[in-house]
Structure formats: C-alpha cells, structure tokens
Amino acid sequence: MLTQKKDIPAHELEQEIIAFLMARATHSGGAHSSPGCNLRHGKACVLATCHDNVPRATPVDFFCDGSLAIWISAEPGGKIANIMRNPQAAAGIYDPVDHSIEQKSLQLWGTAELINLKNNPGLFMGKLRQFGLDEAMAGIIDELAERGIVPSGALAETTEKIKKMINLVKITPTKVSLLHMKPDGLPIKKIWKNGTATEQIGLI
C-alpha cells in the first residue's frame, strides 16, 4: 500500500510529543504521609544503552519536566556504566498493545547526560523535588526503618548516602518517532528530528 508523507509544523509536533510524555510519565505524589514510595507511576519505558556492540535494555520509570527531554532516576549499574562510556541512548514508551482501541507509542533517540549531587547539586536537588523523588525516597527509608533494615536513628545519614549514590539521567532527543494506531484507519507516524517534522500515513 502506498504511503503519504509530508512536512508538518515542528512546534505542533513538539507540543504533541510533550503532551504524550506528560500523560505517561511518573509524577510526584506530594508530601509522603506514610511509609513507602508514594510516586504516581506512569506507563512502561525501556531505556536502551550500548557499549562494545553489546546492547542493554532496562525497564525504568521516566519523568518529564515539560520539555522534549526525558529524565530517569538510576542507581549504579550496567546502564550507568554504558552511558559513561557511550552517551548515545534510546527509549521506548508504550501502552500494552491492543488493536481494538486507539493507541500511541513513542521512540526516542538522543544523548544521555548524568546529573548527580557531585557534578550539579543545584539541578540535581531541584529535579528531585520537582519529580517528587525526595518525598518518595523519604517514604522508602521510613519503610525500611519500620522493618528494622535501617536504624531509626540513621534516617538522615541513610538519605544522604542514597542521594550521593544515585544519578539522574537526562536524555536530550535528536529524533523522536510518535506512532498513532487506529483500529479503523491507517497508522500515522510523526517524526521530529533536530527541529524539523514530517508525517507519514500508511504502512510503516
């Protein structure tokens, strides 16, 4: 089947992408009132990194600050090691597949940057607060204290240790592909690439 392809306004697609991200991102749960994580978790996201031709795909929560970038909170591990060696990364964000309803999914390619308490404390702490990670962290530590895993007198010390350990991964996109599937129509793929945008209708 033939496809139709045309240029579209980049700013309109950017707003559509941001709306998609905001609707599916994990959000702050506000001040925690009981032990445990109080984040309002979003949809599935898979982070892809690579080093020495060995790809790694990791299920993660992601956050959106109202821009095209996505943010991920990450403890030390393989994905952080990969990013330190190769900052090129990709992500897929999607709903469970159901061909009976309208659905959208998103692929994102870009450059990953590690932001932590050591290299950019102001931005790091600001994003922890914006995304509700500070309150979620406090709730998790309270829960660990209730279970006797963390001494009740060491909550502040434990919080600081965790803050020093984790990174925020910011992925600034160079390309985003937004796929819109309809049960009674042709698929629509919109592609944003370095400030330009196209739309393709038909088989992808």
Are 106 and 70 in contact by the 8 Å Cβ rule? The answer is no
Could you tell me the CA-to-CA distances from 42 to 49, 115, 129 in Å, in that order?
Answer: 21, 22, 18
Tokens of 15: 């707003």
The predicted structure's pLDDT at residue 204:
59
Closest to 191 measured CA to CA, from 203, 204, 172, 177: 177
Model pLDDT for residues 43-89, shown as the tens digit of each residue: 989 999 999 999 999 999 999 999 999 999 998 899 999 999 999 99
What's the predicted TM-score (pTM) here? 0.92
- Residuewise pLDDT in 10s, the chain (204 residues): 557 889 999 999 999 999 999 999 999 999 998 999 999 999 989 999 999 999 999 999 999 999 999 999 998 899 999 999 999 999 999 988 888 888 999 999 999 999 999 999 999 999 999 999 999 999 999 898 888 888 878 888 888 898 999 999 999 999 999 999 988 888 999 999 999 999 999 865
Q: What is the CATH number of the domain that holds 154?
A: 2.30.110.10
| Helix pair 121-131, 133-146: axis angle to 10 deg | 80
Q: Name the residue range of residue 105's domain.
A: 4-201
Q: What sign for the dihedral angle of Cα 118, 80, 167, 152?
A: negative
**Lookup result for tokens 């240029």:** 7
Residue 89 has phi, psi (to 5 degrees) of: -140, 165
The predicted structure's pLDDT at residue 2:
56
Tokens of 92: 């897929």
Q: What span, in angstroms and rounded, lies between the C-alpha atoms of 135 and 115?
A: 19
**Lookup result for tokens 């038909």:** 202
Indicate the number of domains in the chain: 1
Q: What span, in angstroms and rounded, lies between the C-alpha atoms of 16 and 9?
A: 11
